[in-house]
Amino acid sequence: MPTIAVTGQQMVNSALIILGILEAGGVPSASESQDGLYELNGMWNAWGIDNGLIFGLQSITKALTAATASYTVGPAGAFATPAPSKIFQAFIVASDGSRNEIEIVNAERYFAHNDLAASAVTPDEVYPDFNVISATGLVTIYLWPVPSTTPTLQLITGAEFTTWTLNGTYFVPQGYLDAIQYALAWRLIPRFGMVVPQQIAQEVAMLGEKSELRIREMNKNNRMLQPGAEMLQPPPQPGAPRA
């Protein structure tokens, strides 16, 4: 899928220009840039858990340690990668490269096992505990039975939605640039109150809705989602608050 390189500052500037707060080629104030960046990251963080806006899947792997039942996930965790918001599939990968899918279970199913320390050559289940450890910001995954060997655990998660900075470059998939700038413009309207005319606010809502629906349709086709799986909820009507 083609991508477009853009900085956080460029996205903020585009949103401010759309709202008429900034002239084309102008330079926003430091507070305007920081406000825009804060809203951009809040929106981007929310999109990262919306199945219809997740643009792809990625694989994260970890060589297991024998007799170890749990692993932390996060930049400083055993899986040294940002903690995923959802795990779509899990596999045990043998030394010869063969993969065996294991079941992803919830807390009730995991804790229903009489012996959580039971062992086997490889696990049958993985329980992702998304309760963040307050001291570290990590999440934990548990395996059952506890493996007695050292295969590789492969987790298929949503594509990483990295935090934006004003000067850092982010590569966004085709179609996202349009959706981001209009969705961000809508989120910024309350910060400027009556400065933004109602007509512009309504037009921003309409264009934002159309661009979001386009990328939901693109992702549905690219990821071969089941009908309706790309929508967490009905799209907002023009003029209604957007996520």
Over residues 1-25, the pLDDT tens digits come to 688 999 999 999 999 999 999 999 9
Rounded Cα distance, 96 and 105, in Å:
26
Which residues sit opposite 156 in a β-bridge? 59, 89
Task: Give the pLDDT of residue 240.
Answer: 45
Of residues 227 and 32, the one with the higher pLDDT is 32
Residue 233: pLDDT band (50, 70, 90) is very low
pLDDT at 231 exceeding the cut of 90: no
> How many CB atoms neighbour CB 242 within 10 A?
19
Task: Give the pLDDT of residue 148.
Answer: 96
Nearest to 176 by CA among 57, 54, 37, 83: 54
Segment 76-92 mean pLDDT: 92
Rounded Cα distance, 67 and 222, in Å:
39
Residue 224: pLDDT band (50, 70, 90) is confident
Beta strands in 105-208 (DSSP E): 119-120, 125-129, 139-144, 146-147, 152-158, 169-173
Rounded Cα distance, 2 and 19, in Å:
28
